[in-house]
Amino acid sequence: MNDIHTSVEMIELIRKTGFYPSEINTDLNLLQEITQLKTQKNAVILAHYYQNPDIQDIADYIGDSLGLAQQAQKSTADIILFAGVHFMAETAKILNPSRKVLIPDLKAGCSLSDSCPPALFSIFKEKYPDHKVISYINCSAEIKAMSDVICTSSNAKKIVDSFPTSQPLIFAPDKNLGAYVNKQTNREMLLWNGACMVHEIFSAQKLMKLKVQYPEALIIAHPECEEHVLSYADFIGSTTQLLDFTINNSHSSYIVVTETGIIHQMQTSSPEKNFIPAPPDNACACNDCPHMKLNTLEKIYLALKYEQPELIMDEEIMQKARIPLERMLELS
């Protein structure tokens, strides 16, 4: 716990903010301290399902990207601590700019968001002036500012269907979700060539071996997975939709093809059922998102105590990005 003070992220924090946290007492009861700080400071913790179980258990709200955006928009707390990744905290700040938004680790980014650099996307977009742009929420505020509407994995079809079929569309940044929605809606949206490092790591071959081992198990997958992996799925949906499916479906066993964090809520909601994480393409734990898993209880405690790192954003970008985000929430 003590080495948190010498870690790269703390050095980065000190450089950026001139702020240095005092010693963390290793005897602290972090759960108790975090609960007290939340009350004292009128703070809420919003957490994504891919967070570690200990973080999910202290959160005031756990959800998928759409649910988290909706919660952030209506929050009356003075502080929103976002236990997720950078684009999610940005979304919260854009939708509710008068709140102080804290992110426990500034380095918690997203490979999918990084796969769409704003300067390159701007050049791409200029080539297709008659196209409207739908961007998946897993992108930077700059990309959102260049978009007509945002979507998440739970409402992508609905958002795409809100445009007349004659309207040419660009879908960014996830080519896998884009291809899946193209199929669902019978469209040919132009797809930006981005992807998530976690959802592209699953091996269809290993998935089939697992299915042979557990023939009764249903395969449930996130639409950020590649098409050949999705082709084996019995159900495809956002994290909340996958969780709801396991609650409402009568099968007793599921092979879960997404980041492993969601299994905590599945197991809590259905303790009698069996959840098997789908194997990655190699021997690593690559179906854990390295960005999501940067957050820890220690970092959450420090962030609430010192109200740092605070997310500070460019006003003009925020204003531009708010328009397509609010359009999505109206359509959802």
Tell the smallest beta-carbon distance from residue 93 to ligand SF4 (Å).
Answer: 17
Tell the smallest beta-carbon distance from residue 50 to ligand 13P (Å).
Answer: 6
Asked if residue 246 binds ligand 13P (CB under 6 A), the reply is no
- What is the edge-to-edge ordering of all strands in the sheet holding 43-48? 61-63, 43-48, 79-83, 100-102
Tell the smallest beta-carbon distance from residue 40 to ligand 13P (Å).
Answer: 30
Residue 126, H or E segment: helix 118-126
Tell the smallest beta-carbon distance from residue 73 to ligand SF4 (Å).
Answer: 20
Asked if residue 101 binds ligand SF4 (CB under 6 A), the reply is no
Asked if residue 291 binds ligand SF4 (CB under 6 A), the reply is yes
Residue number, 38 or 175, with CB nearest to ligand SF4: 175
Residue number, 10 or 233, with CB nearest to ligand 13P: 233
Asked if residue 142 binds ligand 13P (CB under 6 A), the reply is no
- What is the edge-to-edge ordering of all strands in the sheet holding 169-172? 149-151, 132-136, 169-172, 190-191
Q: Tell me, what DSSP letter sits at residue 21?
A: P
- 79 touches which of ligand SF4, ligand 13P, none (CB within 5 to 8 A by kind)? none
Among 239, 246, 265, 296, binds ligand 13P (CB under 6 A): 239
Distances (CA, A) of 115 to 43, 66, 143, 162, 241: 32, 21, 11, 26, 25
What gap in Å lies between CA 31 and CA 22, rounded to an integer?
19
Among 91, 96, 152, 176, binds ligand 13P (CB under 6 A): 152
Tell the smallest beta-carbon distance from residue 92 to ligand 13P (Å).
Answer: 14
What gap in Å lies between CA 220 and CA 107, rounded to an integer?
30
Residue number, 84 or 324, with CB nearest to ligand SF4: 84
Strands 190-191 and 253-257: unpaired
Interacting residues of 321 by C-beta distance below 8 A, sequence separation 6+: 90, 94, 141, 142, 144, 145
Tell the smallest beta-carbon distance from residue 166 to ligand 13P (Å).
Answer: 29
Asked if residue 197 binds ligand SF4 (CB under 6 A), the reply is yes
β-partners of residue 101 are: 80
CA 233 and chain centroid, separation: 21
In the window 109-168, what residues touch ligand SF4 (CB under 6 A)? 110-112, 138
Asked if residue 103 binds ligand SF4 (CB under 6 A), the reply is no
Residue number, 135 or 152, with CB nearest to ligand 13P: 152
Tell the smallest beta-carbon distance from residue 110 to ligand SF4 (Å).
Answer: 3
Residue 272 three-state SS = coil
Pair 329, 70: CB distance under 8 Å:
yes
Q: Using CB under 6 A, list all residues that contact ligand SF4.
A: 50, 85, 110-112, 138, 196-199, 259, 289, 291-292
